[in-house]
Chain A
């Protein structure tokens, strides 16, 4: 049970941390000032959630060290985020496609987290659900705006969806850890989350004329520590300070 809890909570935390890190790369590079701020605000929320979870993990498993040690000193195979969140920012449409696919999962995941037994994860989930609700609204709006905007914006979003689609379903495909967590009332039933998310994605994308690739296969591995080639670069930048100056304090 304790190993299950450690890994399962890390999975949720790492999704938030790595997506927060990716989004923060946009700081100062957004297409317009307002959206630069939106991207970094979402990054802040994600890192805020990651902190709450790393603090909880550190409290439950003091031998793992403090929140900084857990966040910044693990090796690549000990991060359990899904492949989707570590994908590069690309252009604005690529970022929106990644964000929407993740938000559609993350919203329903956090909602379902309200039905688990563990009080602590439930509390963090309830707090973050309010923020994730806002993220989902923002990324859904941008899906519509890009798809219904100009021919160019439509094409860019279509290309982005085509490119990232193979990473879309790892988060909604239950594996052994998800099932064990659900059996122990620690996590939601991912099959249930999956059907809601798939339907919602299909509905929104279809309503704005974006097609999803057919006969596709889905990549997975991040949830168990087998990452894409991009993850090493994310960690190299994210871990630099703690690696160069161990136990540093601001």
Chain B
């Protein structure tokens, strides 16, 4: 195995995207929890976003492929559940990329416990606060559907979790 540092590995992981939201890397998403060299193997610890997220298998396969491409053969992917993933782990650049992609980024203050809606979701197209929730659930587990009452565009909101 080539002599490399953990930061080299992170550079490679930066190129692995979320298959459902391809503008986000798995680092932006905050699902890579640990990278460690162990003698002659490399251990990558990841955590699922949602329990039923069908993208997890593809993400694992893509991590292995990306690393193999750079000469890493002996890679273990470990899945951990604790602590559970939260949208607070999304990086700031990840949130910016989401917005540019047309998805409203998650709020950081969590309100879901209170049975209240996520408040004041900003339209990613015209920045209006005059928006309305259409549905708690969207095209993937991580999103809800909103509509802007100013520009009238419907949009996805990456919901707080």
B81–A140 CB distance below 8 A: no
Is B52 engaged at the interface, CB distance under 8 Å to the other chain? yes
Q: Say whether, besides A127-B81, A133-B112, A34 and B134 are in contact (CB < 8 Å).
A: yes
B82–A38 CB distance below 8 A: no
Which residue of A42, A128, A130, A136 has the most chain B CB atoms within 10 A of its CB atom? A130
Which residue of B has the minimal Cβ distance to A44? Answer: B52
Which residue of B has the minimal Cβ distance to A37? Answer: B137
CA distance in complex: A46, B159 (Å): 18
CA distance in complex: A201, B81 (Å): 31
A44–B141 CB distance below 8 A: yes
Contact with A along B120-155 (1 / 0, CB 8 A): 000000000000001111110100010000000000
Is B84 engaged at the interface, CB distance under 8 Å to the other chain? yes
A130–B138 CB distance below 8 A: no
| Cβ contacts under 8 Å, B53 to chain A | 48
Is A137 engaged at the interface, CB distance under 8 Å to the other chain? yes
Contact of A52 among B81, B112, B136, B141 (CB under 8 A): B81
Contact of A138 among B82, B86, B136, B145 (CB under 8 A): B136
Tally inter-chain residue pairs, CB-CB below 8 A. Answer: 70
Which residue of A has the minimal Cβ distance to B159? Answer: A134
A47–B136 CB distance below 8 A: no
Is A59 engaged at the interface, CB distance under 8 Å to the other chain? no
CA distance in complex: A221, B86 (Å): 37
| Cβ contacts under 8 Å, B145 to chain A | 34
Which residue of B has the minimal Cβ distance to A204? Answer: B115
Is B161 engaged at the interface, CB distance under 8 Å to the other chain? yes
Main secondary structure of the interface of B (DSSP, over half): loop
Contact of B51 among A38, A48, A140, A141 (CB under 8 A): A48
| Cβ contacts under 8 Å, A38 to chain B | 135-137
Which residue of A has the minimal Cβ distance to B114? Answer: A137
The size of the chain A interface, using a CB distance under 8 A, is 28
Which residue of B has the minimal Cβ distance to A138? Answer: B136
B137–A123 CB distance below 8 A: no
CA distance in complex: A52, B83 (Å): 15
Q: Say whether, besides A51-B51, A127-B84, A37 and B115 are in contact (CB < 8 Å).
A: no
| Cβ contacts under 8 Å, B86 to chain A | 130
User: Would you give the shortest CB distance from B63 to chain A, in whole angstroms?
Assistant: 20
Q: Say whether, besides A48-B51, A128-B51, A37 and B138 are in contact (CB < 8 Å).
A: yes
A123–B113 CB distance below 8 A: no
Is B50 engaged at the interface, CB distance under 8 Å to the other chain? yes
A47–B52 CB distance below 8 A: yes
User: Which chain A residues (36-64) contact chain B, with CB distance < 8 Å?
Assistant: 37-38, 41-42, 44-49, 51-52
> Could you name 6 residue pairs across A and B whose Cβ atoms are closer than 8 Å?
A37-B138, A38-B136, A41-B138, A44-B141, A46-B52, A128-B51
